[in-house]
């Protein structure tokens, strides 16, 4: 542990505060809850000092100072409300209002406008300007989603600096000079960024507005709920704004460990799912070849009756379940419990990447570092993943890392929006991500480039692995993949010499023809080059959907129980559930769709969307197909019974994002009449089967998860707080606020997870991670 940083003590408005050296006056005042008005300053961008609104008086200085650009010095004495400061602020506001239109009653920003608020608190009571104000044609579209009212702009430059410094993409620019200065778009550089909506949120006035929100409502008419975005696996924190049970927008809710207060446009404006008039409002039962409306009682009883009939005639192994990567952890847990404890089958899975089977106490196939850790990496390697379109806020964090000097390598079949910022790019043929990763591993082993204690202590295993790859060297693998072998070897050397490298691959790349060994090869690459076990170094998959990792954690797998517990280790779970559990591995997703079951229960998934013609034929040949969904999907159209569910904004629960952060999802609106939350539907089916489930809310399900799922031991709604916690948790341990503490590296279980090691307990050399059935 280093020495504690010495703090600087200053006085603001007669009150002392101690802050780290280099802290801005504005930040210091905020710690005392003292308001210093700002327009140009934004906490996530470098100070500019353009608007002159944040003037303060510093003792010993002849003129007011800008609080957003002035750092603290020892014994500094500051006044934020002296006559000099008040006069300066009034003058600044008077100039800003000279040409600003008085259209607050129709401005979309009215009620949440900083210019409006600061004028009320700090501005003049009237105007001395009696000439005509400036007028422009309004609005003009600066993008497909964003509109600009130029006469409202106060030239704070927040939007321009976001585009240039944060998003690092073509976007908004300042045009003209002097009093003619305005925001605009270069003709040859369209503003098409997936991060464009952030300029609307950070605009302090109504100059930039969202086309979808223009003249729709007023902010005081909105009900605002703190929740988590469900559009991808990043899990950005959001504020859901609802009016008359309709979602109108999502704004950011800063969580520095995940999103830093930014959102992508998909998360901000994609509300069609929950607002759609096409959503299901009543259960449907197939009668005489057609789906017809039915009551909930009819539907639930029919599901239970038909499931019992299949089990009685063909056995429990004839029943299968396909779960969802979009439903909550609580619902995923109940789904697999219904299949295992209620129906006696391990035929439960979901559509996901193909990862090697785990051994007891082995490594779950997860990202071993974190989103925030990307900024500490010296190198980031992206294998077969398009973060810009699939995990946009991870992409934005990578751009921040680039600004700090991180070298990023984009290794993908197709060009990426990160290419122009990357230190290097390598292209290869579609579907060959696994071959490329093995080529990198082969290069590290053959040169050799291995380093660190992990490789040193496993010299014999490393030598055996090197020999096993001798016949598939880097050049042969690169040729097979259509990649440049020289560039791959150069990248392998960069990884091996990096202070800290993060190696990320797309979960779905493991489903490619060469993807079977992708996960283990990338893990071995990180372990053998000493890029693991610390911030800014690690590896893992970027997951597909908002709760892809949670689905795996909760046991939506045919060969593992919740928490990645082996089927043979299910005695404690069986005792807690009061049921005998099947102990043989069930059928996976593909096997169930290949005709391995006679009855299939599908929750929140649409397997018909991915299905081959043969699989579609098997779906239609099932004795029973139950689909739990929001819409009449392709799978639902083939169903025997359709049970209408609700969207994530209409229910409570938790999601687990791609970096293992478990976060609280809060209900922001009333359920759609006629539909039910998935957890409520599952309880209804369970009780129709006679299981006697008595869960009263998702909180009770989460409490059971905290008792029975090892990785989630100690979890609680209160402990997750406003920003969530990354698993695993320390069972029974909490900090002063009651929040579960993270398991540190001294804990054996997490040491194994971080390092990807499984020991045999006899002091022998630990084995390298390997696929199930592969010889060590």
Supply the CATH number for residue 200's domain: 3.30.70.20
**CA–CA dist 216, 243 (Å, integer):** 10
pLDDT of residue 740: 36
- Computed over every residue of the chain, the mean pLDDT equals 90
**Cβ contacts of 719 within 8 Å, gap of 6 or more:** 725, 729, 734, 738, 739, 740
Q: Is the residue at 377 inside a domain?
A: yes
Of 497, 516, 536, which closes a domain? Answer: 536
Q: Are residues 383 and 522 in the same domain?
A: yes
Contact 405, 374 (CB under 8 A): no
Q: Are residues 348 and 433 in the same domain?
A: no
Q: Are residues 66 and 206 in the same domain?
A: no
Contact 348, 556 (CB under 8 A): yes
φ/ψ of 705, rounded to 5, equals -60, -45
Average pLDDT over residues 652-660: 97
Q: Is the residue at 763 inside a domain?
A: no
Model pLDDT for residues 241-296, shown as the tens digit of each residue: 999 999 999 999 999 999 999 999 999 999 888 999 999 999 999 999 999 999 99
Contact 577, 369 (CB under 8 A): no
Read off the CATH number of the domain in which 323 is found: 3.40.50.740
| Burial status of residue 297 (CB atoms within 10 A of its CB: 0-12, 13-18, 19 or more) | exposed
Q: Are residues 348 and 377 in the same domain?
A: no
**CA–CA dist 258, 263 (Å, integer):** 11
Q: Are residues 301 and 266 in the same domain?
A: no
- Looking at the structure of the chain, the number of domains it has is 4
Break the chain down into helix, strand, coil percent, rounded to 5.
Answer: 35, 20, 45
Model pLDDT for residues 471-525, shown as the tens digit of each residue: 889 999 999 999 999 999 999 999 999 999 999 999 999 999 999 999 999 999 9
Exposure b/e, 41-60, CB count within 10 A at least 16 = b: bbeebebbebbbbbbbbbee
Quick one: which of 436, 457, 459 has its CA closest to 448? 459
Of 258, 275, 292, which closes a domain? Answer: 275
Q: Are residues 531 and 418 in the same domain?
A: yes
Whether residue 139 has a cis bond before it, omega within 30° of 0? yes
pLDDT of residue 763: 35
Percent of the chain, pLDDT > 70?
93
Per-residue pLDDT for 761 more than 70?
A: no
Q: Is the residue at 347 inside a domain?
A: yes
Q: Is the residue at 760 inside a domain?
A: no
Q: Are residues 603 and 692 in the same domain?
A: yes
**CA–CA dist 152, 523 (Å, integer):** 53
**Cβ contacts of 208 within 8 Å, gap of 6 or more:** 142, 146, 147, 148, 159, 183, 199, 200
Of 503, 536, 569, which closes a domain? Answer: 536
Q: Are residues 236 and 293 in the same domain?
A: no
Domain that holds residue 460: 372-536
Whether residue 24 has a cis bond before it, omega within 30° of 0? no
Read off the CATH number of the domain in which 77 is found: 3.10.20.740
Read off the CATH number of the domain in which 456 is found: 3.40.228.10
**CA–CA dist 90, 98 (Å, integer):** 12
Q: Is the residue at 776 inside a domain?
A: no
Quick one: which of 635, 643, 621 has its CA closest to 338? 643
Model pLDDT for residues 226-240, shown as the tens digit of each residue: 999 999 999 999 999
Q: Are residues 304 and 255 in the same domain?
A: no
Element (H, E) at 713: none
Radius of gyration for the chain, computed over Cα atoms and rounded to the nearest angstrom: 29
Q: Is the residue at 767 inside a domain?
A: no
- pTM as predicted: 0.92
Q: Is the residue at 621 inside a domain?
A: yes
**CA–CA dist 117, 94 (Å, integer):** 14
Q: Is the residue at 766 inside a domain?
A: no
Q: Are residues 560 and 689 in the same domain?
A: yes
Q: Are residues 338 and 475 in the same domain?
A: no
**CA–CA dist 479, 485 (Å, integer):** 7
CB atoms within 10 A of CB 40: 23
pLDDT of residue 729: 65
Q: Are residues 132 and 242 in the same domain?
A: yes
């Amino acid at each position: 542990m280093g020495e504690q940083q010495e703090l600087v003590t200053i006085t603001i408005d007669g009150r002392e505060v101690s802050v780290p050296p280099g802290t801005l006056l504005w930040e210091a005042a905020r710690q005392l809850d003292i308001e210093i008005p700002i327009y140009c300053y934004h906490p996530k961008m470098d100070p500019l000092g353009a608007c002159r609104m944040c003037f303060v008086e510093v003792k010993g200085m002849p003129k007011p100072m800008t609080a957003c650009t002035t750092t603290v010095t020892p014994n500094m004495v500051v006044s934020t409300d002296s006559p000099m400061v008040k006069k300066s602020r009034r003058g600044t506001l008077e100039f800003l209002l000279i040409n600003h239109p008085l259209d607050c009653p129709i401005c979309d920003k009215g009620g949440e406008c900083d210019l409006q608020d600061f004028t009320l608190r700090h501005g003049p009571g009237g105007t001395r300007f009696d000439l005509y104000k400036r007028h422009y044609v309004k609005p003009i579209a600066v993008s497909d989603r964003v509109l600009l009212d130029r006469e409202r702009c106060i030239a704070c430059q927040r939007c321009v600096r976001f585009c240039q410094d944060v998003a690092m993409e073509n976007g908004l620019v300042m045009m003209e000079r002097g009093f003619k200065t305005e925001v605009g778009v270069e003709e040859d550089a369209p503003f098409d960024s997936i991060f464009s909506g952030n300029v609307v949120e950070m605009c302090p006035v109504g100059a930039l507005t969202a086309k979808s929100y223009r003249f729709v409502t007023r902010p005081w008419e909105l009900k605002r709920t703190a929740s988590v975005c469900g559009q991808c696996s990043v899990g950005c924190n959001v504020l859901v704004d609802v009016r008359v049970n309709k979602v109108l927008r999502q704004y950011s809710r800063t969580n520095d460990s995940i999103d830093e207060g930014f959102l992508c446009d998909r998360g901000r404006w994609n509300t069609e799912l929950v607002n759609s008039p096409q959503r299901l409002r009543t259960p449907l039962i197939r009668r005489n070849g057609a789906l017809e409306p039915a009551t909930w009682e009819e539907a639930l009883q029919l599901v239970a009756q038909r499931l019992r009939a299949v089990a009685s005639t063909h056995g429990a192994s004839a029943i299968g379940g396909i779960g969802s990567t979009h439903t909550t952890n609580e619902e995923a847990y109940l789904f697999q419990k219904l299949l295992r404890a209620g129906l006696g089958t391990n035929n439960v899975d979901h559509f996901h990447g193909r990862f090697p089977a785990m051994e007891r106490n082995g490594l779950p196939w997860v990202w071993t570092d974190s989103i925030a850790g990307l900024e500490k990496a010296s190198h980031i390697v992206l294998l077969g993943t398009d973060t810009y379109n699939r995990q946009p806020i991870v992409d934005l964090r990578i751009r921040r890392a680039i600004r700090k000097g991180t070298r990023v390598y984009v290794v993908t079949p197709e060009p990426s929006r990160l290419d122009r910022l990357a230190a290097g790019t390598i292209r290869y043929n579609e579907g060959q991500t696994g071959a490329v990763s093995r080529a990198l591993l082969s290069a590290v082993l053959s040169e050799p480039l291995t380093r660190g204690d992990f490789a040193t202590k496993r010299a014999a295993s490393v030598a055996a692995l090197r020999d096993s790859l001798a016949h598939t060297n880097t050049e042969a693998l690169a040729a097979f993949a259509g990649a440049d072998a020289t560039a791959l070897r150069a990248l392998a050397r960069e990884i091996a010499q990096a202070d800290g490298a993060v190696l990320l691959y797309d979960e779905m790349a493991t489903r490619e023809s060469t993807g079977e060994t992708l996960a283990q090869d990338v893990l071995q690459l990180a372990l053998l080059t000493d890029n693991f076990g610390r911030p800014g170094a690690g590896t893992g998959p970027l997951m597909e959907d908002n709760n892809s990792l949670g689905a795996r954690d909760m046991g939506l797998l045919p060969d593992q129980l919740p928490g990645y517990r082996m089927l043979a280790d299910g005695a404690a779970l069986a005792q807690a559930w009061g049921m005998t559990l099947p102990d043989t591995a069930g059928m996976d997703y593909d096997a169930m769709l290949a005709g391995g079951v006679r009855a299939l229960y599908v929750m929140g998934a649409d397997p018909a969307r991915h299905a081959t013609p043969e699989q579609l034929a098997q779906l239609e040949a099932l004795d029973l197909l139950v689909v739990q969904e929001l819409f009449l999907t392709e799978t639902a159209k083939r169903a025997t019974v359709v049970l209408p569910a609700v969207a994530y904004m209409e229910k409570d629960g938790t999601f687990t994002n791609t970096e293992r952060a478990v976060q609280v999802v809060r209900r922001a609106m009333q359920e759609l009449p006629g539909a039910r939350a998935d957890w409520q539907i599952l309880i209804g089916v369970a009780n129709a089967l006679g299981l006697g489930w008595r869960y009263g809310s998702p909180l009770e399900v989460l409490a059971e998860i905290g008792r029975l799922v090892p990785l989630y031991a100690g979890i609680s709604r209160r402990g997750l707080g406003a920003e969530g916690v990354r698993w695993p948790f320390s069972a029974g341990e909490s900090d002063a606020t009651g929040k579960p503490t993270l398991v540190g590296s001294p804990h054996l279980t997490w040491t194994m997870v971080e390092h990807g090691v499984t020991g045999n307990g006899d002091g022998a050399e630990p084995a390298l991670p390997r696929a199930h059935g592969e010889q060590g």
